[in-house]
Structure 1
Amino acid sequence: MPIIELLAVNDLSWPYTKPLQLDLRLSQQPLFTPGYFFSSIQVLSFNQEFLQETQEFGFNNRGIKYCYLVSYLTNLTKLNLSCNNISDISSVSKLKNLKKLYLGSNYIEDISVLQSLPDLIHLHLYENRITSYTLALPSLVYLSLSDNKLQDKSGLQHSPKLERLYLSETKTTDLRTIPHQLFGLKDLNLYHNNIIEISYLSNFVDLQSLDLCHNKQLQNIGPLKFCTQLKKLRIDETSIADLWPLQFMKNLKTLEMYKTKVVDLHPLQNLYQLQYISAYDACIIDITPLSKLTFLLFSLDFSFNQITDTDTLQHHKNFSNYNFQGQQVPKTDELKFYSKILSVVALIQTRIYLCK
């Protein structure tokens, strides 16, 4: 059988002889990421059957710079070349059967060749050097463009089936660059941008997960009152103080709001689906609004707040984790305060952190 040799350490272009060769042939157990299991490989050999029949292949985190011979794997439906040194992806354009493509953490600038892959449903392009996303990929469901200095996102309007969109650390300030036609969007990540105003998000009423962390000037989340399907919300490291829109999120399960200006928890008092709350280093004084959330709530992190009354804890028997360290308890009340917490620990047998 004809053999094609590929140098796998830093080159998937034209072969030349080096020691340590791996001959990849079809077997009952698919070998998706040979580079992960065989870190010393310097030469790969593909037999003809492997080239024709292989549907999934990955060689990530191996320092690869060139990937020309990937184009011989014409029946690939899934390709993972993430975490390498690749800049030229022209050979990928020949893989017409690709459904899932992982190219994150490389040195890619030009992605125009991907326009020839209209059947892509998953596309991972995070942490590259992309400034323009103008692709028209109508079948796309998952797209990660995080950690790219994007100036043009006009291609998003051509992917109406998008459900998961990751735009963290993309210098996004104007949310109107996200087309309102993305009616099916369920997961939106806007972590660490320069977002100040989010009224445009009221268009995405089917959102189930939203990450607004580290948009430090963001103060008002009023428009989220229309996002009643949210199950996970992250607003850490923002200037948000008022949680009133959350009262409409009856499906909310996870809430992360550490390092915010939140004081009042009353908007949460009827959110019976809540399971996890992280609010360390906020401005919270009173946790009694959580007293009725006794069924599903199992993890709370209120470390480094200003809470002094723990009577609410007596109602909770399902905790698996409760972090209460760093409270500003008056010296005269410390013994009483921590005795209450310890009595709850004995009752619910949970992990608890008390160190100041």
Structure 2
Amino acid sequence: MSDQTSTGDPGTDDRSPTPREIRRWRRYLADERAEGAVYRTLAQKRSGEERLILLGLAEAEERHEAHWRNLLGPHAESGTRPSLRRTLLRFMARHFGSVFVLALAQRAEGNSPYITDQDATRQMAADEQVHEEVVRALATAGRKRLSGNFRAAVFGANDGLVSNLALVMGIGATGVSTQVVLFSGIAGLLAGALSMAAGEFVSVRSQRELMLASRPTQVTLTAAPHLDLNHNELVLVYKARGMTHEAAEHRAGERLGYFTCDCDPSLSFQAEDERGPATSEEDTIGSAVGAASSSFLFFASGAIIPILPYLLGLTGTAAVALSVGLVGLALLGTGGVVGLLSGASPGKRALRQLAIGWGAAAVTYLLGLAFGTSVA
């Protein structure tokens, strides 16, 4: 480990770095290059302020590169590869959507080793902490865009996996024929998919209807010309919407034409009324048809996996083992994606989802054994 402090000037240490330090610094240099490339690639797909923010992050990574190149000196030029996480980030930035890349980048910035590494300056460690918050903010917008139909899709797939595996395991444990297990799984797929679709449709439609019922109407546009300012129920309308008495009277006067607004028209009271409420909440909820369709398709795609071995003609222990294994892999995938998008550990979320799915299947399997034994 170098003798220089975290606030020292790298150029003040004249001793030769050890092979261990050279390897570590080369890895840091490769990671910084990879991260800068990720942000520049994402910036090419964005515009406006978001593009400038991503380019600013890339410039910061270049400053960090310069620090490690300065420490390495003639050892800087090397074929050292970046870490697997940075390599994956760079690949995803080139070929996939930015929300997944930003979610991974957020974790990478949050797990920076610079905080405890004496060879990194305090400014670099602080940069990485701030970068995590910047990337978190950029990723939040993407998560919100996915939180409607994507939420229905992910949970639909998980429900299909868990419920149909539990059904197949429970029915199979009773000792019935393979054909009965297969048709039970198909029935569970169709019943569950239709139920999920209907539930999502009603849920989202009800949310939208509730929001619509709370939206201010434009009745004041037609009623305002006939109101008396001295006995003006229009003031009550604006007070009911949460305005103070003085602000409500001013807005009512503007509506009746007694006042004019010299400010930006887009900020005037009248313009705000005529624009209606913001649509961000509705965008987050998603469409009822979209949510229902996603739920049906993804529940079905999840529910078909437990019965694939039976569709392929397998029977007995081989069919059960393959079914459990396939569902386990799918649960690890969906759990990892949810963890990734939520900014949590994908590995932990994947294992949690696997434990839940296999746990439910184990319970129904034991119940099926007990029920089959009692019947016999």
Same fold by TM (over 0.5)? no
Normalized against structure 2, the TM-score is what? 0.22
- Higher gyration radius (CA): 2
**More relative contact order in 1 or in 2 (CA 8 Å, sep 6+)?**
2
Larger % of helix: which?
2
Normalized against structure 1, the TM-score is what? 0.23
